[in-house]
């Protein structure tokens, strides 16, 4: 499956630019081919949707939260770690990495450990506003650029029956905060303030801003 994703991603849709040519090419309207340091199908879907050519170079890093670490520091640190690990293998093009988490009352909600954990998260989110943070790290021409996007999302009230149904669908299990705004979870999202793609896991505008600096 991963090979199939790479084959799709490798289809040429613009000039294959070197890292040093990336920023100037963007200003001229070209999009450099990115090395996406992520196996997330949602991030790949976003890049395909907007026509940004890329290749996949997923890496694994320790995602443990450090003591007294803020949500922003957490996602930026993990994004930087992923980008650095990928750049050591794929140094021939701009590398972009991302890490997304959900925050409510300063509690970081990463991916659920199991079904009961997913239910716990949904109970914390239902009927309330929460924040979705995505740290982005871009390594281009040996320079590392890091930033973070924050979007506010309000969940509608959910019954226990709805929570049980949603968790039983399996969708929450690999999602930060236990839901997918682009999937079945959309029926529970009442309002959003900010970048929709950020909630999916890749704030496109921020990536674009970082690469054109």
CA distance 162 to 157: 10
Residue 99: active-site member? yes
Beta carbons of 31 and 53 less than 8 angstroms apart = yes
Identified catalytic residue from 99, 105, 114, 117: 99
Q: How far is CA 101 from CA 20, 127, 166, in A?
A: 31, 19, 19
* DSSP type of residue 174: G
CA distance 123 to 167: 12
CA distance 97 to 33: 14
- Other Cβ atoms closer than 10 A to 11: 8
- Give me the active site residues, please: 99
């Amino acid at each position: 499956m991963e090979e199939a994703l790479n084959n799709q991603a490798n289809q040429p849709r613009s000039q294959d630019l070197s890292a040093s040519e990336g920023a100037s090419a963007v200003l001229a309207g070209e999009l450099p081919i990115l090395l996406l340091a992520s196996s997330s199908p949602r991030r790949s879907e976003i890049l395909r949707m907007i026509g940004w050519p890329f290749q996949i170079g997923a890496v694994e890093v320790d995602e443990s939260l450090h003591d007294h670490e803020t949500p922003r520091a957490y996602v930026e640190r993990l994004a930087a770690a992923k980008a650095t690990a990928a750049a050591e293998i794929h140094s021939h093009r701009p590398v972009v990495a991302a890490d997304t988490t959900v925050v409510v009352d300063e509690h970081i909600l990463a991916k659920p450990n199991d079904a009961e954990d997913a239910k716990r998260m949904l109970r914390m989110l239902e009927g309330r506003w929460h924040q979705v943070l995505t740290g982005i790290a871009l390594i281009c021409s040996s320079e590392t650029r890091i930033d973070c996007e924050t979007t506010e999302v309000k969940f509608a009230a959910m019954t226990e029956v709805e929570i049980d149904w949603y968790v039983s669908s399996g969708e929450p299990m690999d999602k930060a905060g236990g839901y997918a705004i682009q999937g079945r979870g959309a029926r529970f999202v009442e309002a959003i303030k900010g970048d929709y793609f950020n909630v999916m896991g890749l704030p496109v505008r921020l990536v674009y801003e970082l690469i054109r600096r």
